[in-house]
Amino acid sequence: MVGRLTAIYHVRSDARAIRARAQAIAIEQSVEMPLSAIDDAFVVSEIVGRVDGIRAHGDGVFEVRIALAVETIGRDAGQLINMLFGNTSLHDDVVLHDVDLPANLVTSFGGPRHGLADLRRRVDAGQRALTCSALKPQGLPPSALADLARRFAEGGIDYIKDDHGLADQHYARFSKRVEAITAALEKFPATRYVPSLSGDIDNMRHQLAIAARAGLDAVMVAPMLAGLANFHRLVREHTSFAFFAHPALAGAARLSPPLLIGKLFRMLGADAVIFPNHGGRFGYAPEACRALAKAALAGWEGLKPCVPVPAGGMSRERVPEMLDFYGADIMLLIGGALLAARERLVAETASFVAEVKNYGHG
């Protein structure tokens, strides 16, 4: 007998049609053909998706639980998302809401190698929340990005990440950027630079080699741009690096953010996951943000906790509220609002850092 995982969909349907719709999803996400044409006993009993439950949610939405064979996935992250949502992503009445995975599948992917404790240790943060800012806008030359990095570091920030728009453009090549920024941060050992990787997987490997030579130990990748299997491959190959996952192309409306960002990115090895906080530039609800942070941190088959990084239009004024909401197991990322301070950037960064450090001791 093969193991099963459970995919949980939210399906818009009328009550009379939901049973047939659920069955159609179970077939679409497994054998993708008429059951009447399948003779093979193994396929019928073990491979065909099985509707395990249908529950009305109200407002014309139903929760549909479908058991899928773990054997269809192997150890392949691409095939995991293909089996969970490959064809069904093309149906606009369905959201992939959550998934229950057997323990051995979760542990075989491995999860974060460094995680919350190590990202704290690297910057000597004790048990407090971590701080982060972003280098932008794209279009600046390496020297200007390096100058921003130096000023963030003077303000005492823990992590400085690239904006996810910084790729390998001719006006700020990855290698030149890494060189200029690491030089600017030489005097600030408590601040870590996290460059963003881009291109195909071989470009990313090349960029990781440049980062390693520069003494860096963390990078950012957008797993939905890279492909989940390629993200997972990079994590397994580069054991000394912590991986920050960026949500670009994560298509929030159809793949539940707590599942995709909090759970799956973590399972594939993200040490920190950046996501749009509620009340910022993006439309995530507070409950979704809380569920995402919880999924990233919760005890789960022995995986290390992954650091939630709420972001997207945050400001210093929101620090106490965010720490109240999320607790201290978090990294606070403020980008544009610090940059908007312009010549006061160092002081503004220092205030942000102090606010985080003093929280709860006030």
Q: How far is the CB of 325 from a copy of itself (least distance, A)?
A: 20
Query: Which CB atom, from 34 or from 302, has the smaller least distance to a copy of itself?
Result: 34
Query: Which CB atom, from 81 or from 309, has the smaller least distance to a copy of itself?
Result: 81
What SS3 class is residue 26? Answer: helix
DSSP strand E in the chain: where?
4-12, 50-58, 61-69, 94-100, 130-135, 159-162, 192-194, 218-221, 242-245, 272-276, 307-311, 331-333
* 186 exposure class (CB count in 10 Å sphere: 0-12, 13-18, 19+): exposed
Query: Which CB atom, from 132 or from 140, has the smaller least distance to a copy of itself?
Result: 140
Query: Which CB atom, from 10 or from 91, has the smaller least distance to a copy of itself?
Result: 91
Query: Which CB atom, from 53 or from 283, has the smaller least distance to a copy of itself?
Result: 283
Give the C-alpha separation, 305 to 270, whole Å: 10
Which of 268, 234, 261, 228 is closest to 247 using CA atoms?
261
Q: How far is the CB of 124 from a copy of itself (least distance, A)?
A: 29
Q: How far is the CB of 144 from a copy of itself (least distance, A)?
A: 7
Q: How far is CA 84 from CA 48, 66, 99, 291, 343, in A?
A: 13, 10, 8, 20, 49
- Kindly state the tokens that stand for 302: 């022995």
Q: How far is the CB of 362 from a copy of itself (least distance, A)?
A: 29
What are residue 44's phi and psi, to 5 degrees? -65, -45
Query: Which CB atom, from 128 or from 232, has the smaller least distance to a copy of itself?
Result: 232
Q: How far is the CB of 262 from a copy of itself (least distance, A)?
A: 14
Q: How far is the CB of 271 from a copy of itself (least distance, A)?
A: 19
